[in-house]
Structure 1
Amino acid sequence: MNSSTTQPGTNRASAGRPRTAHRRDIDGLRGLAIALVVVFHVFVGRVSSGVDVFLLVGGIFFFAPQIRNALNPAGLTVVQSFLRIFRRLYPALITVVGATLVLAVLVYAEVRWVNAGTDAASSLLYVQNFHLASEGQEYTAINRDVSLYQHIWSMSVQMQIYLGSLLAIVLLATLFRRRSKAGAALLHWLLVLGTLASFGYATWLGQHDQATNYYSPLSRFWEIGLGGLFGIWLLGIAIPRAMRWVRWPAGLVGLTLIVVTGLFLDGAAQFPGPWTLVPLAGAMLVIFAGNPESTGGLSEAAPATGVSRMLNSRFFQFLGRVSYGLYLWHWPLLTLATFWFSTSTASQAGGLRGITASLGTTEGAVVGCGVIALSLLLAWLTLRLVETPLRQKAKAHRSWVLFDRGYWRASLRSKGKVVATLVMVLATGAVFAFGPVAQARIDNRARELSVQDVDPTEYPGPNAFLQDADVPDGLPVLPDPSDDAPMLADTLKDGCLAHFDHTDLVMTKWFNEEDEPCVYGDVESDRTMYLVGGSHSEHYLPALELIAKQRNFKIVPLLKLGCVIGMDIPKWDGSDYPECREWQQKAEDYIFENPPSEGIFMTVTRPTTIEGDGPDQVPQEYVEMVRRLSDAGIHTWGVRDTPWVLDAPGVQGNARLCVAEDRGEDCGVDEAESLAPVNPALAAYRGLDLTNIDLTDAVCRDGRCPGVVGNVLVYRDAQHFTNLFAAMLAPELSRQMYDPMAVEESRRAAEEAADAAPAVPAGDAPKDVFRLPKPGEDAEGGEVPGAPDPAEPPAPVVPDQGWVDPGYVDPGYGWVDPGYVDPGYGYVDPGYVDPGYGYAPPY
C-alpha cells in the first residue's frame, strides 16, 4: 500500500515555506515497511508494524501539501485533489483485483466465487474494512478460508480518511483563504485535536470492541494525523551539526522498535491502541535521523549515515518503488497458493504460523518464497506498465474538471491513457458484475435442484443408515452445497430468535417488530412444545414441525444465539456474555410461568472443549436445569448434540464447502473423535422426567460421520444440520420420542449406563472449556459429566402421547406410520407437505 500522493519532501509548519529536498531514506522506509508486512504475512502469521508505518508516512505527505494547496487561491480544486489521489492508487488496484479474481475462478470451486466477488467489489469501493467488520471477519492469519482481499482494509481506511480530511480542509480553508497564516494555524490545531480525539477513541473502543476498533477509520485517523503533525512540525527541522551524533542511535532505536513490534506485540488484538505508538515512534526516529543539518543558521542535506544509509541502498530503494504493487499482489497470491497446495485448515507445523502452518515447514517455505518472488516480479511490472505511465506528470491548471472542455481535450489527447481508462472502466464493471452473476448461477441451480419433491428412492438420506436403503450413484447432492442460505431453519428466515445483542425473548416475527407470533407446526392448536436454547436446538425445527403438524401441537421457539438455559456461558469468542444471562432468566421465568403442555425440546450434551473437540459431556448445570423442570412437572425431550466436523484438534472444518469442492473425501469426522462411546446423557439424567434422544445412528456408521448420507448433505457447516436432512430425521425423531418400545429401550440403556458409570471424586471432574463455533452460531457445550443419583426413581416419567402400533391410523393425532417410508415424500403423508414450508426457503 503506497501512502504517498505527492512527492516526498513537504515543508514544515507554514503554508508558504518551500519544500525540502527529496528524502530517499523515507522511500527506503516504505520498502522496509512493506518487507515486514510481506514476511510477517507469509511466514509469521502475525500483524507487523508495516501498515501502521505506512499510515504514518501517508499522513506526512498528505496534510501539509493539502493544507497549503487549499489556502492557495490558485491551488487545485477539491475535485482535482481527489483525482490526483485516485489516479495514483486506483489503476494498480483494479489491475490486481481483476487479475486475482480471474485466478480465483481457476483455483476456487464455484461455492467460493460469490464471496470472492463481494470482497473484490468492496475493495474497489474502498469499503473493505466495513465489509469485513459487518461479516464478523476479524483480522486473521493466512489459511485456506481467509478473505482473498483482507489486506485491502488498510487502503480503504486510508482512502476514507483522505477523502473526509480533504473535504474538511477545503471547507475550512475557504473561510480563511484571505488570512492564510491564521487559516494554517487553525487547521494545524484542529489536526491536533482530531488526532488526540481519535487516539482516545481507539483506546476506549479497543477495550469494548476490538474487532470494530481494528477496522474503524475513526480509530485509525490518529496514526495518519500523527504523521501529518510530524510532517508539519518536524520533517524539515534541522539538526544542529554539534548534535549530529544523535543520528546513528536515533535511527538504530527507531529501526529496532519497528522490527520487533510484530514479534512482541499482538497487533490484531492491540492496534490501533496505545501500543501502536511503539512502531510509530520508531518510524519518526528513523525519519528524524535523516533530517538536514544546520550550521550558522544555514541548513543543508546531511550525509546518510547508519540506518539512513541502509535505507538509501539500492535494495530498499527498489522495495520503496514497488511497495504499493507488492502490497497489493502478495496477499491474494498467498491466499490462492495456500488454498491450492493445502488440503485442510489443520495446522501441519506445530507452533509455526503463516503458510507453514497450513503446508508444513518444507513445503511452506518453498511456496512462501515463491509467492514473495512472484509478488516482487508482478509489482515491478505493475510499476512499469500501470503506475508510472498513468501517473500525473505535472500540476494541471486549476479546474473543476467536469465543466472544463479544455481539461477534457487535453486528457483525450493521449490515446494510450484513453485506452487505459476504457480498460479500467470495463474491468471495474466486470468485477462489480461478477458476484451477482455468480449468485444468479447458484440460485438457478438451486431452483433446478429443488428439494420440494425429493424422491426417497433417489435421496434416502438418514434411511441409508437407519434402514440400509439403497443409495443410487451419480446424483447431485441435495441441498445444493453452493449456498448455505436455503439450508437454514425457518426461525432464522422469520427473525424468530434473539441475536447476540438481544436480551428480550423474541415472541413475534422479525425480532418482535411484527405482530405475527413465532409459532410453528399446528399453529391453531392449544397444545404447546417449547424449542429452547441456541442453534443446536434450532436446527431440529424442520423435523419437529413435521411431527407437530402430524400430532397436532404447536412449537414456540425460545431461542438465542450462543445461549442455553440453566448455565452461564461466554460468547462464542470467549468474552463475557451478560446478554445471555439476562435472556436466560427471562426464558426460565417464561417457561415456569407458562408451562408447555408437550414439554420442552433442547440439547442435553455438549463438546469438551471451546473448539468443539470430543468427547461430548453433560454439564452439571444442565442436569440441575432438567431437575427443576421435572420438579415443575415439565417434561424434557433431551437430544444428544451432533458430531462436530473437525479438520484437526481444535480446528473446525466445513462439510458443506468440502462437498462443494469435491475434495475426494467423505467430508466428515471419526465418531470417536467427537462422541463418547456411550451417550453421557443416559447416566446423567437417570430418574428425571426426560426422554433421551440420540440420532447418532442416523448420522454415523462404521465409526465415521460423513458429510453426505443417502445423497443428502448432512451439515451446512461443521456442526449444524441442513434443513433437508433435519426434516428427513422426523420419523426417527418421532419414534424415539413417542414409541413405547423406543422409550423403554432408552430407559434400560440409561440404567445400564448408570450402573457402569464410574464415580467421579469431588474435585476430579474435568474442567469445562467452552467451545468456539462458527461466528454467528450457537455456543452450547458441556462442563462436567454429571454423576448419577441412585436415590432418584429408576425410570423417567413419560407422558402418554397416544402412540400406536406401526401401521395404525390414530384418529386423534392423524399420525400414519407406514413403516416410516411414505411413497409421497419418504416420511410424511403426501398431502401433508406444505409447499411453502421451505425445505429451500426463499432467502
Structure 2
Amino acid sequence: MTLAPPRPAVGTAGEPVSGLSASDRKSGFYRHDLDGLRGIAIALVAAFHIWFGRVSGGVDVFLALSGFFFGGRLLRTALTPGASLWPVPEVMRLVRRLLPALVVVLAAAAVLTILVQPETRWETFADQSLASLGYFQNWELANTAADYLRAGETVSPLQHIWSMSVQGQFYIAFLALIFGFALLFRRVLGRYMRASLVVLLCGLTIASFVYAIFAHNADQATAYYNSFARGWELLLGALVGAAVGFIRWPMWLRTTVAVAALAAILSCGALIDGVKEFPGPWALVPVGATMLFILTGANRFADPHTRGKLPLPNRLLATKPFVWLGSIAYSLYLWHWPLLIFWLVYADRHSAGFLDGAGVLAVSIVLAYLTTRYVENPLRYRSAPLDIGPSVKMPLRTRLRRPTVRLGAVVAVLGVALTATSFGWREHILLQSANAENLTALQSLDYPGAHVLLDNAPVPDAPMRPTVLEAKEDLPETTVDGCISDFDNVGVINCAYGDESASRVIALAGGSHAEHWITALDLLGKMYHFKVVTYLKMGCPLTTEEVPLVMGDNRPYPKCHTWNERVMKKIIADRPDYVFTTATRPWNIKAGDVMPGTYVGIWETLSANNIPVLAMRDTPWLVRRGKPFFPADCLADGGNAISCGIRRRDVLSDTNPTLAWLNRFPLLKPLDMSDAVCRTDVCRAVEGNVLIYHDSHHISKTYMRTMTGELGRQIGIATHWW
C-alpha cells in the first residue's frame, strides 16, 4: 500500500495575534479567520489523503500557523519587561493541549491494529506508538525510509504523526532558545531586544531553509521527515508574529493579496507534488501564502477608517462553518489517517472510492468532534467558557470547566497501558528473533525447502520455519556483518567469504538481490575452495543508468550512479575470476521479466577487460495490483502457501531474457534458479516447510541454504571448477 506521506495539524487555537494592542485585545479583536484557515487546511489534508493519495500542502499551513501562534506568544512574553521566564507553565500548557487527544487516538489505533492488522505488523505499530508518544516519530520514519529492508512495509496508521513530532521538538527548542536568550540579554539589550531576536530568528530561518534545500537534493525521502529541514516553516511563522503588528497597507491591497494567498493554498496540492518536492523550495508556496494571509489581517495600516476590519476573504473564513472546522482540526487530523488506513487494510484496497472515502471522512469528523468536546478541551482549559467567535455560541451546558481528575486519570492510564503494551510486544518479538538463531540447525529431512521442487523430496508434517515473526530476521550474512553499503554510503565495502585463503575469486557485486545469494556462495566456496569477495550496495544493481531509481518506490537514487562508477573501477583493478551479479529485473509495467538496457554497458566493460560474468536471473518479486506484499503478512492473516504466492507467468517470462544476449557477450554465463523457487504454474510462499521470502522480494537465508546444491551444479558447469 503506497499513499502520500501524511502531514498533521497541530496549531494552537485561541491565541491572540502577535502585535495586537491592549485596546484591540480588550475590544475582542481576534483572528477568527486564522481558525477558519486552519479549517480549510484540514479539509485539504483529509480530502487529498482520502481521495487523491497526495500531499495538499495543508500541513505546511499548519506548521506556519503553529510557528506564528506559539512563537508569537513566546516572543511577546520575552519582550515584556518583568514577565516570568519560568518554562514549566508553557510545557504544561503543551502537554494539556497535545497529549490527551493523541493518547485516545493511539489507544483506539492499537485496538484496531490487533483486530485488523496481522501480527507481523504489530511490532511496527508498537515502535511507532512509542515514537509518537515520545515525539520522535519523524526520526523513526526517517530511519525507515533509509532502511532498504523495510522499504516495502505497509503504510503505517501512525505515519501522519511525524510532523507533530517536528512541531513538538520545535516548541521545546524554541522555548529554550527564546526564554534562554531573554534571561541572558533582556536587561543588557533593553530596547534593542526585539531587533536582536528578529536578527537571530532570521539567521536561523535562512540556515534551516538552506539546509532543507541541500538535504532535499541529497536524500529527499529522509529530508522529508527531518526536523532541521522543516524548522524554517515554523520559524518563518514566528518571524511574522514579530512583524505583523507593524505592517501598514491599504484595504484594497490586503484584499487582493488575501485572494491570491487563499488561491495558492487551495491549488497547491493539485499543482505541486509535495511528496517529491517538499521540504525543498516549493514548500515556500503554501508557507508563503499562509504568511501573506496572516499579514492581510494586520491591524495597523494606512486607512484609519478600516482599522480592525478584515478583507472579504478573511471575513469569509471567520464564519461559523470554517471556524467550527478549525476548532476540531487537531482531532480530525489525528483520526482521519488511521481510519483511512485501517479501512483500506480491512477492505484489501489500495485507495478509497468516493462513497467509502466519504464514510471515512464522516466518521473522522464525528470522532474528532467528540474527542475535542469531551477530551481535548476539558483537559486543555482550566476554566472559562469556550469562545470560538462571535458567530459560534456554545450552549451553557458545554462551557468548559477545570480539568477533572477522573478524565485526566483515564487518559494517563491509557497512556501507561499503551506504553507498557508496546514495550511488552517488542520484548516478545526480541525473543522470537532470538529463536531465529537456531534456524541453521534445522534438519533437511524435516525442512527440505527447494529440494521439494528440484528433487521431488517428500514433505513431512512440521511447522513452517522461519515463522512469520522470525522471517524479517532471517537475513544474509553480509547484512548482519555490515558488508553492504547503505543508501547514503558511496564507498565500496569488501568482505571475504567462502575459502578466504583460496586463489580463485568470485566477486559478488550489485544490490541486495545479488547479496542474498551469499549464503549459498559462502557454503559453496568452503566446499569447492574459492573465495567470495563482496561489492554490494542496497537497492543498487550494476548499471550504467545516469539517474537510477530505487526499485519499489521509484525515488531518484543518484548515489547509486556514483557507487557504480567507483565499484566498476575497483572490480576491474581487482580482476576477479568471475563477477556474480543479477542480469534481469521484473518489468513492473507488464508480466514477465527483462534484461534492462542499462546493464549492457556493464557487460561491455567487463568483457573488454576479459572478466566473465555469472549472470543470475533475478528472483520473482511478489506484487499485487502493482504493489509489493509480504507473504509473512499474508500467512499471518490466514492465507496459505498458494494464496500468499503469485502466478509464475506474472513475474517470469517463458525464457530467461539473458539468453538472447549470449551471442553478443560470450563471457556472459547465465544462471537460472527459477525452478528452485517456482512451480510450473505458481510461485508459492512456502516450499518444503520453509518460508521462501523474508520480505516481498528477498529470499530467506533458510530457504537459500536449501538451494545450495542446485546453485553449485550450475556454477560448476559455468566455471568448470568442479
- SS of 1:207 mapped into structure 2: helix
Distance 1:299 1:249 in 2: 16
Distance 1:202 1:172 in 2: 25
2:20–2:299 contact (8 Å) kept in structure 1:
no
For residue 535 of structure 1, report the CA deviation from its aligned partner: 1.8
2:234: which partner in 1?
224
Render the CA deviation track for 1:184-224: whole Å, top value 9, x for unaligned. Answer: 23212322332233333333433333223322232322222
Of 684, 694, 698, the residue aligned with 1:720 is: 698
1:501–1:579 contact (8 Å) kept in structure 2:
no
- SS of 1:215 mapped into structure 2: coil
2:285: which partner in 1?
278
- SS of 1:278 mapped into structure 2: helix
Determine if the alignment matches structure 1 residue 532 to structure 2 residue 453.
no
For residue 646 of structure 1, report the CA deviation from its aligned partner: 1.9
Bigger fraction of residues in helix: 2
2:720: which partner in 1?
799
Determine if the alignment matches structure 1 residue 451 to structure 2 residue 439.
yes
- Following superposition of structure 1 onto structure 2, how do residues 217-366 of structure 1 map, counting pairs within 5 Å? 217-234=227-244, 243-246=250-253, 248-292=255-299, 300-302=307-309, 306-342=312-348, 345=350, 355-356=351-352, 364-366=353-355
Residues 295/458 of structure 1: CA separation in 2 closer, same or farther (3 Å cut): closer
For residue 260 of structure 1, report the CA deviation from its aligned partner: 0.7
Residues 682/716 of structure 1: CA separation in 2 closer, same or farther (3 Å cut): same
For residue 52 of structure 1, report the CA deviation from its aligned partner: 1.3
Residues 276/534 of structure 1: CA separation in 2 closer, same or farther (3 Å cut): closer
Computing the radius of gyration over CA atoms, which structure comes out larger, 1 or 2? 1
- SS of 1:261 mapped into structure 2: helix
2:557: which partner in 1?
575
Determine if the alignment matches structure 1 residue 476 to structure 2 residue 463.
yes
Of 618, 621, 627, the residue aligned with 2:607 is: 627
2:382: which partner in 1?
393
Distance 2:435 2:539 in 1: 34
Residues 612/483 of structure 1: CA separation in 2 closer, same or farther (3 Å cut): farther
Larger RCO (CA within 8 A; separation ≥ 6): 2
Residues 278/295 of structure 1: CA separation in 2 closer, same or farther (3 Å cut): closer
Distance 1:520 1:329 in 2: 50
1:707–1:713 contact (8 Å) kept in structure 2:
yes
Distance 1:294 1:736 in 2: 82
Residues 425/310 of structure 1: CA separation in 2 closer, same or farther (3 Å cut): same
Residues 72/2 of structure 1: CA separation in 2 closer, same or farther (3 Å cut): farther
Of 53, 58, 67, the residue aligned with 2:66 is: 58
Determine if the alignment matches structure 1 residue 186 to structure 2 residue 173.
no
- Following superposition of structure 1 onto structure 2, how do residues 364-513 of structure 1 map, counting pairs within 5 Å? 364-393=353-382, 417-445=404-432, 450-472=438-460, 475-507=462-494
2:41: which partner in 1?
33
Of 190, 203, 209, the residue aligned with 1:199 is: 209
Residues 525/204 of structure 1: CA separation in 2 closer, same or farther (3 Å cut): closer
Distance 1:96 1:222 in 2: 29
2:509–2:581 contact (8 Å) kept in structure 1:
yes
2:583: which partner in 1?
604
Render the CA deviation track for 1:287-321: whole Å, top value 9, x for unaligned. Answer: 4444558798587542x663233323221121111
Distance 2:17 2:87 in 1: 19
Distance 2:381 2:708 in 1: 67
Distance 2:50 2:221 in 1: 22
Of 139, 151, 154, the residue aligned with 1:145 is: 154
Residues 616/477 of structure 1: CA separation in 2 closer, same or farther (3 Å cut): farther
- Equivalent residue pairs, number: 681
Of 90, 104, 124, the residue aligned with 1:95 is: 104
Render the CA deviation track for 1:687-736: whole Å, top value 9, x for unaligned. Answer: 83554322111112232212222221112223221111110001222223
Q: What residue identity is the alignment partner of 2:209?
A: F
Distance 2:543 2:313 in 1: 61
2:163: which partner in 1?
154
Percent identity for Structure 1 against Structure 2: 36
Determine if the alignment matches structure 1 residue 213 to structure 2 residue 202.
no
Determine if the alignment matches structure 1 residue 589 to structure 2 residue 595.
no
TM-score for the superposition, normalised by structure 1: 0.74
Q: What residue identity is the alignment partner of 2:600?
A: Q
Residues 451/296 of structure 1: CA separation in 2 closer, same or farther (3 Å cut): closer
Render the CA deviation track for 1:555-575: whole Å, top value 9, x for unaligned. Answer: 332323344457456252333
2:516–2:698 contact (8 Å) kept in structure 1:
yes
For residue 95 of structure 1, report the CA deviation from its aligned partner: 1.6
- Following superposition of structure 1 onto structure 2, how do residues 821-832 of structure 1 map, counting pairs within 5 Å? none
Distance 2:20 2:33 in 1: 21
1:697: which partner in 2?
675
2:13–2:327 contact (8 Å) kept in structure 1:
no
Render the CA deviation track for 1:452-481: whole Å, top value 9, x for unaligned. Answer: 3434444321122222333346x4321112
1:348: which partner in 2?
none
- SS of 1:469 mapped into structure 2: coil
2:500–2:531 contact (8 Å) kept in structure 1:
yes
1:115–1:435 contact (8 Å) kept in structure 2:
no
1:12–1:232 contact (8 Å) kept in structure 2:
yes
Task: Supply the RMSD in Å over aligned alpha carbons.
Answer: 3.2
- SS of 2:36 mapped into structure 1: helix
Residues 694/420 of structure 1: CA separation in 2 closer, same or farther (3 Å cut): same
2:93: which partner in 1?
84
1:28–1:319 contact (8 Å) kept in structure 2:
yes
2:388: which partner in 1?
none
- SS of 1:497 mapped into structure 2: coil
Distance 2:277 2:42 in 1: 20
Distance 1:78 1:165 in 2: 11
Residues 729/79 of structure 1: CA separation in 2 closer, same or farther (3 Å cut): same
Determine if the alignment matches structure 1 residue 544 to structure 2 residue 521.
yes
Runs (5+) with no aligned partner, structure 1: 346-354, 357-363, 396-413, 508-517, 744-795, 802-843
Residues 21/454 of structure 1: CA separation in 2 closer, same or farther (3 Å cut): same
Of 113, 118, 121, the residue aligned with 2:127 is: 118
Residues 217/446 of structure 1: CA separation in 2 closer, same or farther (3 Å cut): closer
Distance 2:292 2:484 in 1: 54
Determine if the alignment matches structure 1 residue 660 to structure 2 residue 666.
no
2:397: which partner in 1?
none
TM-score for the superposition, normalised by structure 2: 0.86
- SS of 1:720 mapped into structure 2: coil
Determine if the alignment matches structure 1 residue 176 to structure 2 residue 173.
no
